Amino acid sequence: MTHEVQIGSFKVGAGNRPFLIAGPCVIESEQLVLETAARIAEITTSLGMPYIFKSSFDKANRTSITSYRGPGLDKGLTVLKKVKDQQQEWPTDQSHVVAHEKCDAHDAGQPHYPRPLCQFVFE
């Protein structure tokens, strides 16, 4: 059975057109995030493809414990809010820590799905 789901300003599933979720793995800088989001939006708009920006503020599953994990919750949500203001669509993030799910992070974007939940729901 195919289900239709409303995501922001568009619908997915049940025969609707494909959409893209894309962005840098982790928020490296505000400038990079805003430039990347704008360029992907430009490309997907030219293709008539709906798009959700995604980048993590705390990438806990890095290959090395010394790797940069991101700017953290407060600064990361500030950057994602700027993406929302630029694109008029809420971005999303991939959370890895249950505490992030219980904070006001949902005010900054779409629901923040932990990777195992995304695999269960979307794969």
pLDDT score of 103: 46
Bridge partner list, 5 = 12
Average pLDDT value for residue range 65-78: 85
CATH tag, 5-122:
3.20.20.70
- Residue 57: pLDDT band (50, 70, 90) is confident
CA distance 108 to 90: 7
pTM here is 0.71
Q: What rounded mean pLDDT belongs to the chain?
A: 75
Domain boundaries of the chain, sorted by first residue: 5-122
Q: pLDDT tens digit string along 34-50? A: 999 999 999 999 999 98
- Contact, 76 vs 93, CB < 8 A? yes
